[in-house]
Structure 1
Amino acid sequence: MTTPVPAGHGANQARQDGGPAEAVTAVYVYQAPVRIWHWINAAAIVVLAVTGYFIGSPIATRPGEASANFMMGYIRFAHFSAAYIFTIGMLGRVYWAFVGNKHARELFHVPIFTRAYWSDLASMLRWYGFISKRPNRYTGHNPLARFAMFFIFVLSSFFMILTGFALYSEGAQAGSWEDHLFGWVIPLFGQPQDVHTWHHLGMWVIIVFVILHVYAAIREDIMGRQSVVSTIVSGYRTLKD
């Protein structure tokens, strides 16, 4: 169901110069829990990426007493704290996919077995490839965004949670809950260093995804037929012609 934009926000209103107005309609898409999760998750990813980089490439040893130099300890603490926030947020997001509106489920469901989905996906690829002049309008995620969100972001996120807690279980030692739940991951990859390498590569996958995600959102706001950036702030998607 669509909800007209309130007066003063441009819904079928005449321009001041007397010309025809642009038809604008607002649709409530993202509920508050989804929007809150999005921004907390984004902050956690930034902290994880920055601290993870320094954990993989530590800073040079600083002179002086060891008790006065705990820089890497602080970096690791920030990384672990952000990892817990990221993990709890993902679990909460899975829960909200069951109890939220239909748009809350799009992150985890891609209708790849329908012909219409692939047709719409091809249309969006032409739009992002600067071949089409106008994109189709979607109240939720467009088909290309749904594909990227699930097969790149969601799967990579759960991969990072598994490998991250597997590495964390080494410090927690045998018998800890981390070891019971994630200790099997290290033997699966062969050795801890292999897990470190794959975890590090996973970080770059998510970084590249974030860059493309931000680019696509801003591009759609400027060139598309609907709002994107403001939608994840207010919850309302503005559809315009």
Structure 2
Amino acid sequence: MSTKITAHKEEAHYIYEAPVRLWHWVNAFAIVALCITGYLIGKPFPSVQGEASDHYIMGYVRWIHFASAYILMVGFAGRVYWAFVGNKHARQIFLPPIHKLGFWQGVVHELLWYAFIVPEPKKYEGHNPLAALIMYFVFLWGMVFMILTGLALYGEGTGMDSWQFDYFSSWIIPLFGQSQDVHTWHRLVMWILICFAITHIYAALREDIMSRQSLIGTMISGWRTFKDSRKDD
């Protein structure tokens, strides 16, 4: 008795260029450092006895926070630049085609896929429509908000004669009402980005396991692998 074996075909497409992959991982580590140190800045360690200069723990926490913030900002500026000079996938999270009906049909299909209602996802070389939508509205604008409010709060420490105060603190803090309000919103969006990161990691792992296409490996090598040769409509 013989068993018929269906041939397995694998496709691979080069998606993410090296600058995009480098930015992704540097940005990820910077966000982790910012979230941990940002939480500790808002909920500092208990006071200890003795001179403050002998216990510089919170000083190091703040230094790591500020250094990570500048790394994130420089990386973000580089990522915006690469959106102009890189391939079409480098621009995807900046310009999701929200004006196209097919895009929203893809969003609905991906929602059904994540809800385990449809049996399989569609093939996408870059981000699927749902991922592009969330990356744009939650991650991209969340990052812009955190950079602006972070610079405004930092400007309070650098003083009224600093460029951070002139360009950011001078108008952002009055816009929100007072400094504490900026702190509150800065911290709230931090938790939103933490929830985004958890969902992002879950979705990437889920797609690598359940779908017909690679995700995590793509952000390491740049190549997206499709595990069969079926074409979507």
Q: For the superposition of Structure 1 and Structure 2, which TM-score range results when normalised by the shorter chain?
A: over 0.9
Q: CA RMSD for the aligned pairs?
A: 1.1
In the other structure, the counterpart of 1:219 is 206
SS for the counterpart of 2:120 is: coil
In the alignment, is residue 21 of structure 1 matched against residue 7 of structure 2? yes
CA distance in 2, matches of 1:233, 1:62: 44
Q: Which residue of 2 aligns with 1:109?
A: 95
- The one-letter amino acid of 1:52's match is G
Task: Give ranges in structure 2 of 5+ residues lacking alignment.
Answer: 229-233
Alignment correspondent of 2:190? 203
Partner of 1:93: 79
Partner of 1:163: 149
The TM-score, its normalising length taken from structure 1, stands at 0.91
Match for residue 216 of structure 2 among 229, 232, 238: 229
| Partner residue in 2 for 1:131 | 117
Aligned residues: 225
Deviations 1:23-42 (A, max 9, x none): 10000000000000000000
Higher relative contact order (CA 8 A, sep 6+): 2
Shift of 1:130: 0.4
1:57 aligns with 2:51: no
Gaps of 5+ in 1: 1-16
Percent identical residues: 55
Partners of 2:6 and 2:184 lie apart in 1 by 58
Q: Per-residue deviation at 1:18?
A: 8.6
TM-superposed CA distance for 1:162, in Å, is 0.4
State the shift of 1:169 in Å.
0.2
* Partner deviation per Cα, 1:39-72 (whole Å, 9 max, x = no partner): 0000000000000000011110112222210111
Aligned letter for 1:49? Answer: C
Q: Deviations over 1:151-206 (max 9, x none)?
A: 00000000000000000000111121111211210000000000000000010010
Q: Measured at CA, do residues 193 and 64 of structure 1 come closer, stay the same or move farther in structure 2, by a change above 3 Å?
A: same
TM-score (norm. length: structure 2) = 0.95
Secondary structure of 1:146's partner? helix
Q: How does 1:142-153 map to 2 (within 5 A)?
A: 142-153=128-139
Q: Which amino acid aligns with 1:22?
A: H
